[in-house]
Amino acid sequence: MRLGELLAVNSFPAVIAGSDIAVYRKDPTSPATLDFVSGYLGFDARSHHALHSTLASLARPSSGGAFWFNGVFGSGKSHLLGLLSLLADGIGHEAFAASHPDCAQYLPSFQPRFCLHISLDEFDAAKLGLEEIFWLQMQRSWADRGLGELEVERIGSRVEAFSSLQNLLEQKGLTGLIVC
């Protein structure tokens, strides 16, 4: 008998890009997606705290608030945001709960929200500002999910545009927006 017959090694990327998350989102039950979701590790106390705090927040019925994730290159920010965007869309809950039993309590209470994953690598920052990137990706993701045309009035102020977006989300039975 060989060692490879006894043990299986998950395929977990050392570096994660927005395009990887897009592939996982398109095939939510693929072995690669489930390996990614179940293979997430918070090695230190800060990563563990960030994971628990964010999951607990997503499980609360109230909406509002934000998290700021920062860290040096290679500290796992993209992995965490990719994982959160998949879990927020209901992808990989069983695989994640099996490998992270301490986090399983949060998953059944996730509120239905529209999850927008933005990979800035896909846009030319010299030509587009963050706000324009947000709306372009919002339109793409809205259409990709079969929700039709994104009908948000953007002629007035930002407050009015986001109020219009919130109203549209509520019409679709969603309690808010998650941007990762």
Q: What is the mean pLDDT of each run of 10 residues along the chain (180 residues)?
A: 60 72 90 88 76 85 70 78 87 92 90 82 87 92 89 87 91 84
The letter for the amino acid at 108 is P
Q: pLDDT tens, 62-72?
A: 666 677 777 77
Tokens of 33: 């997606």
Write down the pLDDT at residue 1. Answer: 63
pTM: 0.76
pLDDT at 135 (0 to 100): 94
